[in-house]
Amino acid sequence: MSTPDPGLQPERTLLAWRRTALGLIANGVLLLASGHGTSDVRTGLGIVVLVLSLSCWAAVSAVYRRTGGAAIHALGHDRVLRIAAGLVLVVGLFDLYAVITR
């Protein structure tokens, strides 16, 4: 019996994770730009967001490269999704803080 062909699903999952990481990277850059020279807090938040989002990008890419897309379904695990949702929520709160304190 042959294994089922996953088709393009692993590639779509990888692209979705990369889009999420790219959005977080953009937020980190904007936080850095908004805090440049005015607020050490915003600069620090921007650096934290950049490090976390680049880590997310690297981790997803490593899983995809290591498994050839075969285990990309592990990135859809409940725990991973909750961590990603929490990261997006934290970045949103950082952004809200930057807007309010501007």
Average pLDDT, the chain: 76
Q: What is the pLDDT of residue 2?
A: 56
Each residue's pLDDT tens digit, 20-46? 888 888 888 888 887 766 667 778 888
Phi/psi region, residue 13 (left: phi>0; alpha: psi -120 to 50; beta: rest), is alpha
| Contact yes or no for 28/47 (Cβ under 8 A) | yes
Distance CA 95, CA 46 (A): 9
pLDDT of residue 69: 63
Q: Which parts of the chain have pLDDT scores under 70?
A: 1-7, 36-39, 68-77
Of the candidates 86, 94, 97, 77, the one whose C-alpha atom is nearest the C-alpha of residue 13 is: 77
User: Which residues does 32 contact at the CB level (< 8 Å), separation at least 6?
Assistant: 42, 43, 46, 47, 50
Specify the pLDDT at position 37: 64
